[in-house]
């Protein structure tokens, strides 16, 4: 039964089952708050929406009612809509409050402790995490009055998300755009995870993607890894509150709560992993590191015309095995090392040999030639092996689920000796 429970992951999303108050204020980007509410509901959160009067000029409370299945709050003097529940009760029983979009006006109210509408009142009355996503014209944002208010709120522990650069409603391009709704929801997710997640005190280093070993300035020796497994581990660890560094070869937008360290070659990956591991608790080597690299890298592009040969040979030399070369003992204690074995044949025998060679606590083996496993797909079918002889074959699962199982196996090993 113990084996079953390890992959019967219930919902690990930190938003699941949480009670979120979403404050919406009178910005042209109000319509994006519908998307935010929808994403929160889809993540399993209970969402109570509070709108300012100005917000209702832009969007109807009905739209939020339809999405959240709960009656939005607008009039703080009307206590009939929710069995007489007041703003104070709402502020007390929520797990976090998010105001998105946040206008310059409500920002100023929060800064000065004013409480003359439902949104400002609830924000003042709550002692739970408060996150705000401002949206306004650039001139309003950079105005010293607004910046002073931002400083005030930051000093009081309010988390300011954005705003981002881009095209504004005025047609101008500049700072002031509401941060992308998915990113806003991710920031809230990470904030809750840091407070509640089982990996919250830990630092996890993950590698993602395949390395590129230069032949000349334009060509390289590479592999088919897309980094999906590595990023699934990074996101799962982030969602459980860990501080996460991804040493990656993949060009992706940075995600909330995940520190991206971009590298290209095996040598660069080794250097970055070494540095990050000095203060880490767990290293998961999900990246596909080249075993060999060209011995000589040409300074200039190798020209076809320069050679009349119909073939050419590139001599390769072995790269350093990253996980094997990382010390178990680091500045902050023992590092748990998790290796990956991507194989196309003799999966288990090859993986078992690698456990010892790499000094890993356990190894995650997958057959990258199978259709629902390996590179570029969102699922994986893995077998986990450790030095004690344990061999655990998991069914086909999403990479996120596999990631959670790996993290749950690593967690008890942290500081275990």
Ligand X SMILES: Cc1cc2nc3c(=O)[nH]c(=O)nc-3n(C[C@H](O)[C@H](O)[C@H](O)COP(=O)(O)O)c2cc1C
Which residues bind to ligand X, rule: CB under 6 A? 25-29, 52, 54-55, 103-106, 117, 135-136, 140
Say how many C-beta atoms besides its own lie within 10 A of residue 48's C-beta: 24
Residue of 149, 223, 380, 404 with catalytic role: 223
- Whether residue 152 contacts residue 160, with contact meaning beta carbons closer than 8 Å, is answered with no
DSSP string of 115-138, one letter each residue = --SHHHHHHHH--S-EEEEE---H
CB of 61 to ligand X, least distance (A): 13
DSSP element (H, E) containing 348: helix 347-358
Say how many C-beta atoms besides its own lie within 10 A of residue 387's C-beta: 13
SS3 106: helix
Q: Which is nearer to ligand X, 103 or 245 (CB)?
A: 103
CB of 78 to ligand X, least distance (A): 17
CB of 109 to ligand X, least distance (A): 7
Q: Which is nearer to ligand X, 27 or 373 (CB)?
A: 27
Q: Which is nearer to ligand X, 55 or 237 (CB)?
A: 55
Q: Which is nearer to ligand X, 125 or 298 (CB)?
A: 125
Nearest 5°: the CA angle 289, 290, 294 is 150
CB of 245 to ligand X, least distance (A): 35
Based on the residue annotation, tell me whether 223 is a catalytic residue of this protein: yes
Sign of CA dihedral 271, 272, 277, 281: negative
CB of 167 to ligand X, least distance (A): 13
DSSP state of 387: T
CB of 74 to ligand X, least distance (A): 11
Residues 292, 222: Cα–Cα separation, whole Å: 10
Q: Which is nearer to ligand X, 169 or 200 (CB)?
A: 169
Residues 78, 374: Cα–Cα separation, whole Å: 56
**Which has the closest alpha carbon to 13: 228, 245, 238?**
238
Q: Which is nearer to ligand X, 29 or 225 (CB)?
A: 29
Q: Which residue has the tokens 């009905």?
A: 62
Residues 31, 360: Cα–Cα separation, whole Å: 50
Say how many C-beta atoms besides its own lie within 10 A of residue 124's C-beta: 16
**Residues marked as catalytic:** 223
């Amino acid at each position: 039964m113990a084996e079953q429970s390890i992959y019967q992951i219930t919902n690990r999303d930190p938003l699941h089952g949480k009670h979120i108050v979403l404050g919406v204020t009178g910005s042209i980007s109000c319509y994006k708050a519908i998307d935010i509410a929808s994403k929160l509901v889809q993540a399993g959160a209970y969402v109570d929406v509070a709108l300012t009067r100005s917000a209702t000029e832009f969007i109807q409370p009905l739209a939020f009612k339809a999405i959240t299945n709960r009656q939005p709050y607008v009039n703080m003097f009307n206590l009939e809509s929710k069995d007489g529940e007041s703003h104070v009760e709402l502020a007390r029983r929520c797990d976090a409050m998010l105001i998105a979009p946040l206008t310059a006006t409500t920002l100023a109210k929060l800064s000065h402790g004013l409480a003359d509408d439902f949104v400002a009142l609830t924000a003042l009355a709550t002692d739970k995490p408060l996150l705000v996503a401002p949206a306004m014209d650039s001139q309003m944002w950079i105005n010293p009055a607004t910046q002073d208010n931002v400083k005030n709120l930051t000093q009081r522990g309010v988390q300011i998300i954005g705003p981002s650069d881009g095209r504004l409603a005025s047609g101008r391009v500049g700072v002031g755009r509401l941060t992308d709704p998915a990113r806003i929801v991710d920031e809230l997710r990470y904030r809750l995870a840091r407070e509640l997640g089982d990996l919250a005190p830990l630092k996890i280093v993950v590698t993602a993607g395949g390395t590129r070993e230069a032949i000349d300035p334009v060509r390289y020796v590479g592999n088919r890894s897309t980094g999906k497994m590595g990023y699934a581990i990074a996101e799962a660890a982030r969602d459980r509150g860990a501080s996460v560094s991804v040493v990656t070869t993949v060009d992706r937008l940075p995600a909330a709560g995940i520190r991206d360290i971009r590298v290209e070659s095996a040598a660069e990956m080794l250097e970055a992993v070494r540095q990050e591991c000095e203060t880490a608790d767990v290293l998961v080597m999900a990246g596909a590191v080249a075993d060999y690299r060209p011995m000589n890298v040409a300074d200039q592009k190798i020209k076809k015309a320069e050679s009349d040969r119909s073939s050419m040979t590139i001599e390769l030399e072995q790269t350093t095995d990253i996980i094997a070369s990382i010390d178990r003992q680091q500045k902050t204690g023992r590092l748990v090392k998790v290796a990956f074995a991507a194989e196309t044949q003799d999966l288990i025998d090859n993986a078992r040999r690698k456990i010892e060679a790499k000094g890993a606590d356990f190894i995650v083996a997958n057959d990258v030639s199978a259709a629902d496993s390996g590179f570029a797909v969102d699922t994986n079918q893995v077998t986990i092996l450790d030095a004690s002889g344990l061999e655990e074959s998991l069914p086909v699962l999403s990479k996120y689920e596999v990631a959670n199982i790996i993290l749950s196996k690593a967690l008890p090993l942290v500081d275990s000796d």
